[in-house]
Amino acid sequence: MAERLRVDPVACDGVGICAHLAPDLVGVDSWGFPVVAIAALDRDTRRQARSAVAACPRRALFVEDAGPS
Amino acid sequence: MSWPQPAHELEAVELLGAQVHFLPGAAEPLSELAPEGLPAHHARLGARPDCSGVHARRLLDTLDQVALTGRGGAHFPVATKWRTVLHAGPGTVVVANGAEGEPLSRKDAALLELRPHLVLDGLMCAAEALRAQRTVLWLHDDAHRARAAVTRALTERSSHGEGPLEVAFAPTRYLSGESSSVVNALSGRAALPSLARVPAARSGVDGRPTLVQNVETLARVGLLARGAAADTALVTVAARHHSVVAEVPGTATVAAAVSRTIGGRPPYAVLVGGYGGRWVSWREARTVPVQRAGAGVLLPLVPGQCGLRRTADIVDYLAGSGAGQCGPCRFGLPASAELVRELADAHIRPREVRRLERYLAEINGRGACHHPDGAVSVVRSALAVFATDVEAHLRGRCRHEPARHG
């Protein structure tokens, strides 16, 4: 089952730690809020995603099933 | 009771059957129609059929057959949503959403005020078919006329042995009719949108399977359950000084719906789908079906009015009416609105138009709800449909407002 990283934009405050911990998955917009890649996670990016999820002080990130890919 | 025939044999029945005019500030819609009481409703359509048990499966087949889609604006297939709710198991909550958020739309208000029994029929059919444990009608708290009509209708029906129904009230806000707002409010939280990690159909109000369905959609269910066709479309045409709710053939184009409803000189462009919709030129309006018009709001651009200025007004409204919960709404929309205003005022350079386009790309699809996406759609379509005006404004001129820009 493919997985992907997602952000709950209501919980997110634009702290920005995720963009440092998961540079291959998360960029920031003009106001410093995360723009998360929609691509399915692979072995390298899954490690980045997990550390970003764990480090987010707002608990705004989560990994979800992206359905069959 | 007879059961639905195949679609081509269904007899067409209209929801409203007449135009309903709304004037700003007027206490009552101008229409020859009066709120339809239960005797008149029964005389016109007969009693509501049973939709429980074996009838539920037949109703679902009919919904599939006619491909009924949600008239709140998203046009999601109704049968698909109902099956998801059914499979999610017991304890279901069924909600009729009468809190249309689109500021220009009046069709749901017209339906609730004039045909309350048809809406209630559809709601009770859905509740029976989905074996609901809780059935709710969700209304704006300032919708006094709808509330009065529904209260009267419920009193008339009280002796008919239907299940209990709650009427609940939404705070009057643009986003309180958004599906996740409804679910949050009925679960005891604030009536604000949130990111649904699981669809409401599977886990909604208090974690229970929840159907949130627009009142026009349910009125159509009320007709389909009787074996009548329900293939018209309700539109709200927002004319200069008043709004007109009209029932048009489901196959009508946007241009035909506007011409037949308000007549007069064809407008230069039409905003299709309201404040979260998109501009189309009049030429394109002749090919776009009203069924693609979201919740059916059509706003013709008044001749002589600058489409970019109208767009700036709309984006200002949208920037001011978000829930302010997500980054794109808190920062992206106000920043975009400011640039659209500069564009409308013809005080803008090409570099800033490119910045506006970048902002739109950044905020699109990134809110918990679709509020920012609506603003993106309106602005992007304006930049395309009013491209000639954009060029003129970049040179500090406006052909519609020569006085304002010298």
At B234, list the tokens. 């309700």
Choice among B196-200, B296-300, B380-384 with the minimum mean pLDDT = B196-200
Q: What is the pLDDT of residues B30-84, one digit of tens each?
A: 565 678 899 999 998 999 999 999 999 999 999 999 999 999 888 899 999 999 9
Give the closest residue to B70 by CA, choosing from B231, B229, B213.
B213
Using DSSP bridges, classify how beta strands B232-238 and B297-300 pair: parallel, antiparallel or unpaired. parallel
Residues 192-231 of chain B whose Cβ lies under 8 A from any Cβ of chain A: 193-195, 197
Q: What is the pLDDT of residues A20-66, one digit of tens each?
A: 999 999 999 999 999 999 889 999 999 999 999 999 999 999 999 87
Instruction: Answer yes or no: are the C-beta atoms of B307 and B279 closer than 8 Å.
Output: yes
**CB of B362 within 8 Å of any CB in chain A?**
yes
Q: Is pLDDT of A69 > 70?
A: no
Choice among A44-58, B192-206, B212-226, B326-340 with the minimum mean pLDDT = B192-206
Average pLDDT over chain B reads: 89
**CA atoms of A61 and B270, how far apart (whole Å):** 40
Contacts of A10 in chain B (CB under 8 A): 193-195, 325-326, 368
The answer to whether the Cβ–Cβ distance between B368 and A12 falls below 8 Å is no
Q: What pLDDT, on a 0 to 100 scale, did the predictor assign at position B2? A: 39
**CA atoms of A17 and A34, how far apart (whole Å):** 9
Q: Is pLDDT of B401 > 60?
A: yes
**Rg of the Cα atoms in chain B:** 22
**B139 pairs with which residues across the strands?**
B169
Mutate to test the interface with B, among A30, A53, A58 (most CBs of B within 10 A): A30
Q: Please tell me the distance in Å from A18's CA to the nearest CA on chain B.
A: 15
Q: How confident is the model at residue B342 (pLDDT cuts 50, 70, 90)?
A: very high
The answer to whether the Cβ–Cβ distance between B363 and A29 falls below 8 Å is yes
Q: Is pLDDT of B8 > 80?
A: no
Q: Is pLDDT of B367 > 70?
A: yes
**CA atoms of B328 and B335, how far apart (whole Å):** 10
Give the closest residue to B174 by CA, choosing from B186, B199, B192.
B192
Q: What is the DSSP string of chain A?
A: -EEEEEE-TTT-----HHHHH-TTTEEE-TTS-EEE--SPP-HHHHHHHHHHHHH-TT--EEEEEEE--
Q: What pLDDT, on a 0 to 100 scale, did the predictor assign at position B14? A: 72
Q: What pLDDT, on a 0 to 100 scale, did the predictor assign at position B6? A: 36
Task: For residue B160, give the DSSP letter.
Answer: G
At B23, list the tokens. 């004037």
* Chain A / chain B CB contacts < 8 angstroms: 48
Q: Is pLDDT of B4 > 50?
A: no
Q: Please tell me the distance in Å from B178's CA to the nearest CA on chain A.
A: 15
Q: Which long-range contacts (CB under 8 A, 24 or more apart) does B190-196 make?
A: B192/B323, B192/B325, B193/A10, B193/B323, B193/B325, B193/B367, B193/B368, B193/B369, B193/B371, B194/A8, B194/A10, B194/B325, B194/B368, B195/A8, B195/A9, B195/A10, B195/A11, B195/B368
Task: For residue B253, give the DSSP letter.
Answer: B
Q: How confident is the model at residue B176 (pLDDT cuts 50, 70, 90)?
A: confident
Q: What percent of chain B has pLDDT over 90?
A: 67
Instruction: Answer yes or no: are the C-beta atoms of B386 and B329 closer than 8 Å.
Output: no
Per the document, the length of chain B is 406
Q: Please tell me the distance in Å from B375's CA to the nearest CA on chain A.
A: 17
Residue matched to tokens 């309700």: B234
Q: What is the pLDDT of residues B116-168, one digit of tens each?
A: 999 999 999 999 999 999 999 999 988 888 999 999 999 999 887 788 999 99
Entry pTM: 0.90
The answer to whether the Cβ–Cβ distance between B362 and A14 falls below 8 Å is no
Q: Is pLDDT of B23 > 50?
A: yes
**CA atoms of B211 and B204, how far apart (whole Å):** 8
- Residues B97-117 have a mean pLDDT of 89
At B161, list the tokens. 């042995």
Q: Is pLDDT of B172 > 80?
A: no
**CA atoms of B259 and B289, how far apart (whole Å):** 14
Element (H, E) at B271: strand B269-272
Cα–Cα distances (Å) from B190 to B139, B147, B265, in that order, read 15, 22, 46
Rounded to the nearest angstrom, the gap between the alpha carbon of residue A16 and the centroid of all alpha carbons in its chain is: 11
Per the document, the length of chain A is 69
Residues 28-67 of chain A whose Cβ lies under 8 A from any Cβ of chain B: 29-33, 35, 62, 64
**CA atoms of B290 and B12, how far apart (whole Å):** 18
**CB of A1 within 8 Å of any CB in chain B?**
no
Higher pLDDT, B370 or B101: B370
- Residues B353-369 have a mean pLDDT of 95
Q: What percent of chain B has pLDDT over 70?
A: 92
Q: Is pLDDT of B295 > 80?
A: yes
